[in-house]
Chains A and B, each alone.
Chain A
């Protein structure tokens, strides 16, 4: 269910997420407190390679972390095993990646 590779990937993705989450929350507070409109936010993010990298990395880390975490929960709670469990993990990974990257594209593409 969880081998050394998956364990390692989950820990590494958590380590990546820790600073990214803090930056993201700080950014949200700053944007709301500063009263930035959606248009003003988009004008800062569109065309920015930095924000594309920041949120692209964020989406990647979240997708890997969530897929492995949900894999364990589904295995222990519902007893899903073997090919079905692997298929579930891949679907969660791909769905999170596609949805997340689509959102990143929407805010950084100019």
Chain B
């Protein structure tokens, strides 16, 4: 029997009533929560809930998603006040008193409903010099990289960021200082500072040491607590602080 046909015989989920789901509706700063009754299933993610509302209850609901398997980083939202990747967040784990509240990501402007405007988030990656500056040309032989080296290990520890902006939404320093580059951009800068193939370490340290740079971080560690990939941007930022002090010139920058 074909595997898809076998699935038909065994239902993967079973209904057990409905739950109240409050969803933020609106544009920009104006909006309010709207309540929906959504069927409860055994296996159900927050993204499943949002998709059910859009497909079965209100097709005008706006939200963003792509891969549905925790790879692309597009579906992050605030769930019961906490930033989460919704495709990998099970309803059972986050329901509070049987109810769920879903809102767009904190610290970012809202385009509509659950879709946050990510422009400033990605602009800050560029401001933090989160761009690779190669030290060689395509004519040069490929540079061997020692994966055991301390620098490469530090770069690798921080490299699995999927740009979901969960850390950015969780960060109180971003809330109180809109110029602050944020944990994701600084984490990216740290991977490049440690990348032996990169040629712009000094330029990058300068970019992350000015107003809104790594020194604006208060080490609350919310980024680390909420990062769905269990990265530690706080440690990356601490590394940037150390390096910036080592490179400090009292007569230059």
Instruction: Flag the segment in A2-10, A29-37, A51-59, A99-107 that touches B.
Output: A2-10
- How would you classify the secondary structure of chain A's contact residues: helix, strand, loop or mixed? helix
Task: Let me know if A77 and B176 touch, CB within 8 A.
Answer: yes
Q: In the complex, how many residues of chain B place their beta carbon closer than 8 angstroms to a beta carbon of chain A? A: 16
**CA of A2 to CA of B241, assembled, Å:** 12
Task: Let me know if A4 and B211 touch, CB within 8 A.
Answer: no
Chain A positions 1-23 with a Cβ under 8 Å from a chain B Cβ: 1-8, 11
A70 to chain B, nearest CB (A): 15
Task: Let me know if B212 and A1 touch, CB within 8 A.
Answer: yes
Task: Tell me which residues across on chain A come within 8 A of B210, comparing CB atoms.
Answer: 3
Task: Let me know if A5 and B177 touch, CB within 8 A.
Answer: no
**CA of A77 to CA of B175, assembled, Å:** 11
Task: Let me know if B216 and A1 touch, CB within 8 A.
Answer: yes
Task: Let me know if A8 and B211 touch, CB within 8 A.
Answer: no
**CA of A75 to CA of B176, assembled, Å:** 9
Task: Let me know if B176 and A76 touch, CB within 8 A.
Answer: yes
| Partner pick for B248 among A2, A4, A75, A76, CB 8 A cutoff | A4
Task: Let me know if A1 and B245 touch, CB within 8 A.
Answer: no
B209 within 8 A of A: yes
Task: Tell me which residues across on chain B come within 8 A of A5, comparing CB atoms.
Answer: 248, 250
B253 within 8 A of A: yes
Task: Let me know if A3 and B176 touch, CB within 8 A.
Answer: no
Task: Tell me which residues across on chain B come within 8 A of A77, comparing CB atoms.
Answer: 176
| Partner pick for A1 among B211, B241, B248, B250, CB 8 A cutoff | B211
Task: Let me know if B250 and A75 touch, CB within 8 A.
Answer: no
Given contacts A3-B215, A5-B248, A7-B244, 4 further A-B contacts (CB under 8 A): A4-B245, A7-B241, A8-B248, A75-B177
Taking beta carbons and an 8 Å cutoff, which residues of B are in contact with A?
176-177, 179, 209-213, 215-216, 241, 244-245, 248, 250, 253
Taking beta carbons and an 8 Å cutoff, which residues of A are in contact with B?
1-8, 11, 75-77
